[in-house]
Amino acid sequence: MKIAVLDVGSVAAKLELLECRPGVPPVMTRIVRVSTRLAEFTTRDGEILPDGLERVAEAVRRCVVAAGELRVTALLAYATSAVRDAVNQEAASSRIREHSGVELAFLRPEDEARLSYFAAHRWFGWSCEQLTLIDIGGGTMELALGETEEPSLAASLPLGAARLTREFLADSPSVPKTELLTAHVREVLERALRGPRRRLTGSTRFVGASKILTQLCRLASGTGPGREPRPLLRADLRRWIPPLARLDPKHRAVLPGVSSSRSAQILAGAVVAETAMSLLDSDRLDICPWGLRDAILLRLADAHRLVPDLVEQWTEEDELARVLGVSLPVVSPTVVGAPRRSMEAAGSMTLSIRHGAEHAGRVTE
């Protein structure tokens, strides 16, 4: 039994596999990543340009082809804010459906926050009495806190790094533009964090879970993608925001730990992280390599351990929703592996395949 989860985001479409066999613990493996770079093909008003529509549709198609070649039994496919919140979301969904036969699902932003928190809590275990999660994506920032695997508070804010870059830093970077961005972020967060701040205890563990935060960690420590990042310090962010504001994305991309796909967004991500940490009175963020996609796979693995043949019994979507905690339809097996064009059709798009059972490992993105 092989179950795949496809996550379509602003930087890439990422397919991850859960392999379940009788008598053997489920194995989660990163399988394929195809570049979308939707942030570069989205206007300030939030419209995905024609080239962006083609890229994301082709990326999904390639992942569906890979799922078919791997003989995936069931595929769960969803898109995050980059497609969900686009003003031409219907056109994007239609183009993806035409290319791949897949109807992407859209999770509620609050559910994304809740699931990301679940993954972080599972990663750090019960060693923390209270966990506060900050997850800075392309379109939104997720915030969640709690004491158990289910958060007592989960919220999503329009403070994603790609969104803020489009709105405030679309032209050449500058210190005045960064100051305007910082003022906006602080205004939004001051309103949003009034309630959460009152719930914090002195023993809370602050956790960051996003590629932007991981790359900021590596930038601060001067390490590349081959080493696990150390905690991200607020002092690091304060130190790096001014030089990042003076560099254009091309020059940021040569800095240690910063990928070309996120070099334009990393300044906005740093501003959001530093402002949130300041308002929450946090001096450090421990970095969690697991996120939304991992949370879905973890819940599927939990269900398999309890009832090994449960997946085969899923005939109703409400049963799957009960297991996952969100509504996420299963793509029909007849769709998986039914490509309309060859894998070489969009030759310039980045395709990377990773095999092995080291689930915590990540490719720099």
* Predicted pLDDT at 347: 44
Considering the domain boundaries, does residue 362 fall inside one? Answer: no
Q: Within a domain: residue 263? A: yes
The pLDDT of residue 20: 78
**Amino acid 257: pLDDT:** 92
Under the banding of pLDDT at 50, 70 and 90, the label for residue 337 is low
Model's pTM, two decimal places?
0.87
User: Do 242 and 146 sit in the same domain of this protein?
Assistant: yes
* Residue at 363 is within a domain: no
Burial status of residue 167 (CB atoms within 10 A of its CB: 0-12, 13-18, 19 or more): middle
Asked whether residue 131 falls in the same domain as residue 279, the answer is yes
Please name the residue ranges forming H helices in 48-140: 50-69, 81-84, 89-100, 109-124
In-domain check, residue 274: yes
Residue 338: per-residue pLDDT: 57
- Tens digits of residue pLDDT in 96-111: 999 999 999 998 999 9
Cα 96 from chain centroid (whole Å): 19
Regarding whether 153 and 296 lie in a shared domain, the answer is no
Segment 102-128 shows an average pLDDT of 91
Please give the residue that has the higher pLDDT: either 354 or 119.
Answer: 119
Could you read off the pLDDT of 160-216 as tens digits, one per residue? Answer: 999 999 999 987 778 899 999 999 999 999 999 998 898 998 889 999 999 999 999
Does 297 share its domain with 282? no
pLDDT at 330 over 70: no
- Give the pLDDT of residue 120: 96
Task: Report the CATH number at residue 215.
Answer: 3.30.420.150
The bridge status of strand 330-331 relative to strand 74-79 is antiparallel
At residue 119, does pLDDT exceed 60?
A: yes
Q: Is the pLDDT of residue 275 over 50?
A: yes
> What is the domain extent for residue 72?
2-107+292-353
Let me know whether 102 and 115 are in one domain.
Answer: no
CATH number of the domain at 48, please.
3.30.420.40
Q: Each residue of 233-254: pLDDT tens digit? A: 999 999 999 999 999 999 999 9
Same domain, 39 and 101: yes
Of the residues 287, 308, 332, the one at which a domain ends: 287
Same domain flag for 262 and 115: yes
Contact in structure between 94 and 362 (CB atoms under 8 Å): no
* In-domain check, residue 319: yes
Tell whether 277 and 164 lie within a shared domain: yes
Q: Is 94 found in the same domain as 124?
A: no
pLDDT at 340 over 50: no
pLDDT of 345 reads: 44
Domain presence at residue 358? no
- Asked if residue 74 lies in contact with residue 4, where contact means CB atoms within 8 angstroms, the answer is yes
Give the count of domains, the chain: 2
Supply the pLDDT for residue 175: 87
Query: HSE on the CB side for 101, CA within 13 Å?
Result: 18
Mean pLDDT over the full length of the chain = 86
pLDDT over 90, % of the chain: 64
User: Which of 72-76, 318-322, 340-344, 354-358 is predicted least confidently?
Assistant: 340-344
Neighbours of 165 (CB within 10 A): 23
Q: What is the pLDDT of residues 220-238, one digit of tens each?
A: 988 766 666 689 999 999 9
Q: Is the pLDDT of residue 322 over 50?
A: yes
Quote the distance between the C-alpha of residue 200 and its chain's center: 25
pLDDT at residue 35 in the model:
96
How is residue 6 written in tokens? 């496809």
Mean pLDDT of 116-142: 93
